[in-house]
């Protein structure tokens, strides 16, 4: 690759970022051991963002789980600050398993929110043991499998269509749900929605934020809703920030809405207990 090529600059910048995070987060001769230590010591924390039902009687039937890294017991590092290290060493499935275990533990303690959505990485899509491990964990805790929904990013659906389809089918076989996250940011057709057969589709914020000003955005959301009615999936409008956008999403037929205009992310335990 020509070092003067912008793509080369991007690759070099990615390498520099990983190296910097290794120094700051790993800070050791064995970064993999440091990552495992962070998981074992509970240096990560889970937040959840409630999702509002726009149709029906249930008000907050689900919430999305978000993972953060505690730094010096005060600051919270967002995923962009530490995911590259996990991805670099192929350890995202371990982090995703950690999240699943802790969400199931929260459900086992009793939750007023019946369903939690968990993001899974592209690496986890290729982990053939992951769905079975989830099923076993749910069985041990006595938690209904429908309590978990796994979010697969649109980017991973497009880049790894076979793996994404196999993963979605596997989690659905054990009774969990599958969700396509961020739809409309990259896809130019509805083929991924037909191929994956997800239970839920989350329309990307790039579309939702334009609902007030763009007829094309409103038509795009309406089209996803119509496809959902035919195929059989629910539609979530994400990045909703104001009452007008909530009203427009509801008028378009979206089933749910998520965003700072509804509720900000809070501690998983608080959301499970209904304290939001």
On the question of pLDDT at 99 being above 70, the answer is yes
1-10, 145-154, 173-182: least confident range = 1-10
Average pLDDT on 172-193 reads 93
pLDDT surpasses 90 at 135: yes
Q: What's the pLDDT at 263?
A: 97
Q: What is the pLDDT of residues 101-111, one digit of tens each?
A: 999 999 999 99
Domain ranges in the chain are 1-41, 43-272
Q: Which residues sit opposite 267 in a β-bridge?
A: 47
Q: What is the overall mean pLDDT for the chain? A: 89
Banded model confidence at residue 18, pLDDT cuts 50, 70, 90: low
Contact of 47 with 266, CB cutoff 8 Å: yes
Q: Quick one: how far is CA 98 from the chain centroid?
A: 14
pLDDT of amino acid 43: 80
- The answer to whether the beta carbons of residues 120 and 95 sit under 8 Å apart is no
Residue 2's pLDDT is 47
pLDDT of residue 70: 73
Which is it for the CA torsion 199, 207, 80, 259, positive or negative? negative
For the cut 60, the answer to whether the pLDDT of residue 241 exceeds it is yes
Q: Which of 74-88, 126-140, 191-205 has the lowest mean pLDDT?
A: 74-88
Considering the domain 43-272 in this protein, what is its CATH number?
Answer: 3.20.20.450
The predicted pLDDT at position 142 comes to 98
**Spatial separation of the C-alpha atoms in residues 113 and 134, rounded to whole Å:** 19
In this prediction, residue 3 carries a pLDDT of 47
For residue 9, the model assigns a pLDDT of 64
How far apart, in whole angstroms, are the C-alpha atoms of residue 143 and residue 170? 18
Question: What does the alpha-carbon distance between residue 35 and residue 86 come to, in Å, rounded to a whole number?
Answer: 8
SS3 192: helix
Given a cut of 80, whether residue 122 has pLDDT beyond it is yes
Q: What percent of the chain has pLDDT over 70?
A: 85
- 219, pLDDT greater than 70: yes
- The model's pLDDT over 32-53, given as tens digits with 9 standing for 90+, comes to 777 777 778 878 899 999 999 9
Residue by residue, DSSP assigns 4-50 as: TSHHHHHHHHHHHHHHHHIIIII-SS-HHHHHHHHHHTT-EEEEEEE
pLDDT number for residue 24:
55
């Amino acid at each position: 690759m020509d070092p003067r090529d912008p793509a080369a600059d991007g690759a070099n910048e990615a390498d520099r970022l990983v190296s910097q995070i290794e120094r700051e987060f790993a800070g050791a001769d064995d970064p993999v051991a440091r990552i495992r230590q962070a998981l074992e010591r509970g240096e990560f924390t889970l937040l959840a963002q409630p999702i509002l039902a726009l149709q029906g009687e249930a008000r907050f039937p689900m919430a999305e789980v978000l993972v953060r890294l505690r730094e010096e017991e005060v600051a919270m590092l967002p995923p962009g600050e530490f995911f590259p290290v996990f991805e670099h060493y192929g350890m995202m499935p371990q982090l995703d398993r950690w999240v699943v275990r802790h969400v199931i533990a929260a459900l086992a303690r009793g939750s007023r929110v019946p369903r939690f959505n968990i993001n899974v990485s592209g690496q986890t899509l290729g982990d053939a043991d992951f769905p079975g491990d989830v099923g076993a964990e749910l069985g041990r805790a006595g938690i209904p499998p429908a309590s978990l929904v796994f979010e697969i990013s649109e980017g991973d659906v497009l880049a790894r269509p076979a793996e994404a389809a196999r993963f979605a089918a596997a989690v659905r076989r054990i009774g969990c749900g599958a969700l396509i996250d961020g739809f409309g940011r990259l896809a130019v057709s509805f083929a991924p929605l037909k191929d994956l057969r997800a239970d839920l589709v989350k329309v990307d914020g790039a579309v939702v934020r334009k609902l007030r000003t763009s007829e094309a955005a409103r038509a795009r959301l309406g089209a996803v809703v119509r496809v959902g009615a035919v195929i059989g999936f629910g539609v979530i409008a994400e990045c909703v920030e104001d009452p007008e956008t909530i009203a427009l999403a509801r008028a378009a037929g979206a089933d749910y809405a998520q965003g700072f205009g509804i509720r900000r992310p809070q501690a998983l335990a608080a959301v499970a207990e209904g304290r939001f």
